C-alpha cells in the first residue's frame, strides 16, 4: 500500500518535471545573461581580496563599500548606488528614496494601485501618522490598475494631467495583494507615458522581489531610482541584512543624506567585520533567483496537476518571486504552512500558529525556517487566515529544496483530505 503510494507520487513528479523542462530552460537563460552582467561588473572594478574586508567607526574611505556600490550601479546601469547594511529593510530603502526626494507641498503618485502594506504606513495611509510623508505635508494620490492587472492609461493620464507631480512610484511585484507582477516592458511603457506628461517627475520603482527575474532592470527602462532589500533577491541568500537604492547620482545622494545626515551622505558607514557576504551574495544572486523561480514553477505545475489553482500559472512569464496557491479552507492553509516549515533547514520542529500581526486585520500564519531572519529569497510561506484562503510562497535557495518543500506540502494536504478528488 505504502509502496504503491510512493510510486504514484514518483510518477506525478516525473510528469510535472517533464512538463516544465522548457520553462526551466528559459529561466536558466535569464540567469545566464544576468550572471554575465554581474561577473563583468566584478571584473571591471577589479574586485579583490582587500575589498571583502570590513571597516569600523565612521567607515571613511572604505574601499570595499565604494567598490560594491560601483558594482551595483554598473549592473543596474545607473550613475550611482547606495548599498548598506545600515538600511534595515526594503521599506527603509524605499523610505530613504521617498524622503530624500519629496519636500513639503510636493505631490506623490502611486501608479500601480495599492502600495505594499509597509509603504502605506510610510505614506501615512496606515493607522500611524507619526513621521509619515503625510505629516511632512506631502499629498498623495493612488492610481488603480486596470482590470487586466496592467496600467489604467486613462486614469493615469487624468492624474498626470491635473497638477504637477514630484514623484511617481511603480511597484513591480504584486506583493501580497493578489495582483500579478508588472514586467519591465510594461514598466517601461508606463515610465514613457509619465515622462511625456511630466518630464520633471522622478520615477521610483519598488523593485522588491523583482531583481534578476528578467534580463533587464527597471533602471534600464527609464526609472530614475529603484530600491529594494538585500535579504531578498540581490543578497543571493547570503547577505545578512541591508538594502539598496540605485539611480541618478543627485537622487541617490539625497537618499544617502536621509540615511546619515546632510553633509555626510554616503561618505560614512562602516560594515563591521567584512563585506564578503554582500559581494558573494550579489555574485550568486542571478543563480539563486533562478532556483527560486524554478521552484515556484514546479510548485505551480504540481498544484495544477492536483486540481488546485495557483498564480502565476507554471507557463507564465514572471517578474517577481511570489507564487500564490489557492486552498479550500483555513485548515488547509495551516496544513500547507506547517508542511513548508517541517521541510525547512532551520526550526523544522516548530509548528506555525496564526497570530495577530500589527497592521493586519486578520490573523496571519507564516512558515519561515530561514538562516537569515525574514530572509524571503529563502523558501517561506505566509497567508492571512481569511477567505479566499490563499497562501503566498516565495524563494527557495536551491531548486531541490523548493521541490522537496512543495512536495511535502502537497502530500500533507492529501493526507489531511484537503485535495480535490480525482
Ligand X SMILES: *Cc1c(COP(=O)(O)O)cnc(C)c1O
Is the distance from CB of 243 to CB of 230 less than 8 angstroms? yes
> Alpha-carbon distance 169 to 225, whole Å?
9
Residue span binding ligand X (CB under 6 A) among the ranges 14-22, 29-37, 168-176, 396-404: 168-176
Considering only 69, 206, 211, 382, the residue that binds ligand X (CB under 6 A) is: 206
Q: Which residues of 17-35 are buried (b: 16+ CB within 10 A; e: fewer)?
A: eebbeebbeebeebbeebb
Position 208 contacts ligand X (CB under 6 A): yes
Contact with ligand X (CB under 6 A) among 78, 112, 121, 171: 171
Is 118 a binding residue for ligand X by CB under 6 A? The answer is yes
Site stretch for ligand X (CB under 6 A), options 83-91, 250-258, 270-278, 279-287:
83-91
Angle between helices 153-162 and 184-197 (to 10 degrees): 30
CA 402 to chain centre: 17
Nearest CB to ligand X, comparing residues 119 and 245: 119
Please, are residues 413 and 419 in contact by the beta-carbon 8 Å criterion?
yes
User: Does 244 participate in binding ligand X (rule CB under 6 A)?
Assistant: no
Give the torsion through C-alpha atoms of 89, 93, 95, 97, to 10 deg: 180
CB of residue 174 to ligand X, shortest distance in Å: 8
For residues 389-401, one letter each, b for 16 or more C-beta atoms within 10 angstroms of the residue's C-beta and e for the rest, the string is bbbbbbbbbbbeb
Q: Min. distance of Cβ 335 from ligand X in angstroms?
A: 25
Residue 233 interacts with ligand X (CB under 6 A)?
no
Q: Does 175 bind ligand X (CB under 6 A)?
A: yes
SS3 at position 324: strand
Per CB under 6 A, 344 contacts ligand X:
no
SS3 state at 313: coil
Q: Work out how close the CB of 22 gets to ligand X at its nearest, in angstroms, rounded to a whole number.
A: 28
Residue 310 interacting with ligand X (CB under 6 A): no
* Binding-residue total with ligand X (CB under 6 A): 13
Cis preceding linkage at 312, omega within 30: yes
In this chain, which residue has its C-beta nearest to ligand X? 90
**Options 75-83, 206-214, 297-305, 332-340: segment touching ligand X (CB under 6 A):** 206-214
d(CA 242, CA 90): 8
Regarding 242 and contact with ligand X (CB under 6 A), the answer is no
116 scored as a contact of ligand X (CB under 6 A): yes
Inter-CA distances, 351 with 261, 335, 340, 347, Å: 43, 10, 10, 9
89 touches ligand X (CB under 6 A): yes
Count of beta carbons in the 10 Å neighbourhood of residue 80 = 22
CB of 233 to ligand X, least distance (A): 10
Q: How far is the CB of 415 from ligand X (least distance, A)?
A: 32
With CB under 6 A as the contact rule, which of the stretches 188-196, 203-211, 294-302, 345-353 interacts with ligand X?
203-211
Which listed residue (72, 76, 99, 209) binds ligand X by CB under 6 A? 209
Q: Does 156 bind ligand X (CB under 6 A)?
A: no
User: Using the rule CB under 6 A, is 333 a contact of ligand X?
Assistant: no
Between 293 and 410, CB nearer to ligand X: 293
Q: Residue 207 class from Cβ within 10 Å (0-12 exposed, 13-18 middle, 19+ buried)?
A: buried
91 touches ligand X by CB under 6 A? yes
Q: Near ligand X by CB under 6 A, which window of 9-17, 89-97, 188-196, 280-288?
A: 89-97
In whole angstroms, the minimum distance from the beta carbon of 47 to ligand X comes to 26
User: Measuring CA to CA, which residue among 94, 108, 175 is closest to residue 141?
Assistant: 108
**H or E element that contains 159:** helix 153-162
Q: By CB under 6 A, name the one of 35, 173, 241, 271 that touches ligand X.
A: 173
The minimum distance between CB 172 and ligand X, in angstroms, equals 7
Listed as own residue / partner, the contacts of 129-134 with beta carbons closer than 8 Å and 24 or more positions apart are: 133/98, 133/99, 133/102, 133/108
Nearest to ligand X of 352, 395 (CB atom): 395
Q: What is the smallest separation between the CB atom of 417 and ligand X, expressed in angstroms?
A: 33
Contact positions vs ligand X (CB under 6 A): 89-91, 116, 118-119, 171, 173, 175, 206, 208-209, 229
Amino acid at each position: 500500500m505504502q509502496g504503491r503510494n510512493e510510486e504514484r507520487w514518483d510518477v506525478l513528479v516525473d510528469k510535472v518535471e517533464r512538463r516544465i523542462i522548457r520553462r526551466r530552460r528559459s529561466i536558466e537563460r535569464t540567469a545566464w545573461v544576468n550572471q554575465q552582467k554581474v561577473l563583468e561588473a566584478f571584473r571591471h572594478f577589479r574586485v579583490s581580496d582587500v575589498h571583502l574586508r570590513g571597516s569600523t567607526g565612521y567607515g571613511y574611505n572604505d574601499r570595499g563599500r565604494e567598490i560594491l556600490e560601483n558594482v551595483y550601479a554598473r549592473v543596474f546601469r545607473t550613475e550611482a548606488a547606495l548599498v548598506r547594511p545600515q538600511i534595515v529593510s526594503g521599506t527603509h530603502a524605499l523610505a530613504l528614496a521617498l524622503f530624500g526626494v519629496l519636500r513639503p507641498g510636493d505631490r506623490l503618485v502611486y501608479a500601480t494601485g495599492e502600495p505594499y502594506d509597509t509603504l502605506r504606513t510610510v505614506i501615512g495611509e496606515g493607522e500611524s501618522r507619526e513621521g509619515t510623508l503625510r505629516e511632512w505635508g506631502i499629498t498623495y494620490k493612488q492610481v488603480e490598475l486596470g482590470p487586466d492587472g496592467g496600467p489604467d492609461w486613462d486614469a493615469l493620464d487624468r492624474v498626470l494631467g491635473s497638477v504637477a507631480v514630484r514623484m511617481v512610484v511603480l511597484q513591480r511585484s504584486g506583493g501580497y495583494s493578489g495582483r500579478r507582477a508588472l514586467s519591465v516592458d510594461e514598466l517601461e511603457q508606463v515610465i514613457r507615458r509619465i515622462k511625456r506628461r511630466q518630464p520633471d517627475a522622478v520615477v521610483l520603482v519598488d523593485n522588491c522581489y523583482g531583481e534578476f527575474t528578467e534580463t533587464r532592470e527597471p533602471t534600464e527602462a527609464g526609472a530614475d531610482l529603484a530600491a529594494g532589500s538585500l535579504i531578498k533577491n540581490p543578497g543571493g541568500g547570503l547577505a545578512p541584512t541591508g538594502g539598496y537604492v540605485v539611480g541618478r547620482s543627485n537622487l541617490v545622494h539625497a537618499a544617502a543624506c536621509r540615511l546619515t545626515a546632510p553633509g555626510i551622505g554616503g561618505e560614512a558607514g562602516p560594515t563591521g567585520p567584512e563585506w564578503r557576504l554582500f559581494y558573494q551574495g550579489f555574485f550568486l544572486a542571478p543563480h539563486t533567483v533562478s532556483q527560486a523561480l524554478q521552484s515556484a514553477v514546479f510548485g505551480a505545475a504540481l498544484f495544477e496537476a492536483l486540481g488546485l489553482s495557483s498564480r502565476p500559472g507554471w507557463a507564465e512569464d514572471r517578474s517577481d518571486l511570489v507564487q500564490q496557491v489557492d486552498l479550500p479552507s483555513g485548515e488547509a492553509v495551516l496544513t500547507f504552512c506547517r508542511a513548508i516549515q517541517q521541510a525547512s533547514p532551520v526550526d523544522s520542529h516548530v509548528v506555525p500558529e496564526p497570530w495577530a500581526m500589527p497592521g493586519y486585520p486578520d490573523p496571519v500564519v507564516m512558515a519561515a525556517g530561514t538562516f537569515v531572519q525574514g530572509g524571503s529569497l529563502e523558501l517561506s510561506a505566509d497567508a492571512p487566515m481569511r477567505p479566499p484562503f490563499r497562501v503566498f510562497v516565495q524563494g527557495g535557495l536551491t531548486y531541490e529544496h523548493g521541490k522537496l518543500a512543495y512536495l511535502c506540502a502537497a502530500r500533507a494536504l492529501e493526507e489531511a483530505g484537503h485535495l480535490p478528488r480525482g
